[in-house]
Structure 1
């Protein structure tokens, strides 16, 4: 399977980044600036050689501000396209598309033309080489589909299906999309999902992961949730921002609820 190249946050083009030492992995920021800033301020994120963000960057109440913050990381950041990024581009360009979340059309209307082009140019999947991990493919849902669902307890048969097109020497897959962190082996291949920065299921705060010296560390950044909700409400003109922020930043949906909702989408019985 061709895994695409990448560049810094501003372009999304170029060749494979090789021999990276330490990688901080974020995902699913969904336009929530205060939690993103809290995660980016973590010492291990600041010290990482590369910050990877595996999709769904801006579909939320602060899309312009979040994309500007990610772009400010320059070549230290590698942004991968998520399904919501693709949906934002469709709405910004054509004013139509699938809308799983009503914030999408609003967020698309806020974006500057350069930000629409940034999202349109992001790769999915992308690939890097990380010391201690070898070839690592970076995706949102799965390497073959930015919207496909696999979960920590998906069957080995399901995992084999969604990873079947990868080259055998790709030993690490980093994904996002389901907003719940996990690390697991799939027939000797390591799969990492860092969870979500802006829309976490299970507990509030920013979830992320650190890849260093062949070890994966799932991390969690505690935030003052009241202050974060207030900052999002004050920093957004989205009409339903208070309700949106209360629900998502306080992690009203548990991981158990999310697994029940997502489960049928990985092929298991409802």
Structure 2
């Protein structure tokens, strides 16, 4: 049984944010680092994937919808991707990157001290694009958890880029937030699991990171992209207003 797991979600191809989190002492000391999807769709996709694969078996990978979309786009299985940077990012990937991303599982279970059997996924256990939020109604949680085994008491997911911990029908639900595209406040957000749950934020030099990303990436609108996402221009209220209708609620006020 594992003692400590660091969870990194929604890196979105932002190398300086990823490097800052990987340099945290608790991350370096963790038994495993779990990536809960949306790893490469961003300004530095190849460098992010190369760094993570160099860490070997310490990294446990899960595919997100953005990872799946990169592969589908490059293989001609879709004509476009809603995220404007994603088609560009897909074009930066080598054949080995595509092969790796295409083989990633959609979920993972690990036994963790203090938390029991922990289920990791990207969005929900049944779908990589569904939305659940900290204030999603309990009926919604019952619906998306309907096929989970009864012995799963902790679920870790990402997708919405906003950190939270809550109970839903006796299960602990953890969203570590986003490493590379935070909503609501700056910094690289992640979680440390075992024996409890700690939501962490790694602060790094935002100005230097924007300069590095802008210098390194050939994405045409990289300056604007980096300023918007690394400075967390989207508030948590903005994100909740955008995501709220997608969790099935009828009252979004």
Query: TM-score normalised to the size of structure 2?
Result: 0.97
Does the 8 A contact of 2:177 with 2:189 survive in 1?
yes
| Whole-Å separation in 1 of the counterparts to 2:80 and 2:240 | 22
Match of 1:257 in 2: 238
| 1:223 is the counterpart of 2:233 | no
| Whole-Å separation in 2 of the counterparts to 1:117 and 1:244 | 27
| Whole-Å separation in 1 of the counterparts to 2:199 and 2:16 | 20
| Whole-Å separation in 2 of the counterparts to 1:264 and 1:138 | 24
Match of 1:45 in 2: 27
| 1:164 is the counterpart of 2:146 | yes
Does the 8 A contact of 2:117 with 2:153 survive in 1?
yes
Match of 2:222 in 1: 241
| Whole-Å separation in 1 of the counterparts to 2:118 and 2:194 | 13
| Whole-Å separation in 2 of the counterparts to 1:191 and 1:254 | 22
| Whole-Å separation in 2 of the counterparts to 1:97 and 1:220 | 36
Distance 1:150 1:156, change over 3 A: same
**Alpha-carbon shift at residue 96 of structure 1 (Å):** 3.0
Consecutive unaligned residues in structure 1, runs of 5 or more: 1-18
| 1:90 is the counterpart of 2:86 | no
Does the 8 A contact of 2:73 with 2:81 survive in 1?
no
Mapping of 1:105-254 within 5 angstroms? 105-213=87-195, 215-254=196-235
**Alpha-carbon shift at residue 226 of structure 1 (Å):** 0.6
Q: Which moved more, 1:89-98 or 1:28-37?
A: 89-98
How many residues were matched structurally?
A: 251
**Alpha-carbon shift at residue 100 of structure 1 (Å):** 1.8
Consecutive unaligned residues in structure 2, runs of 5 or more: none
| Whole-Å separation in 2 of the counterparts to 1:97 and 1:252 | 29
**Alpha-carbon shift at residue 21 of structure 1 (Å):** 1.2
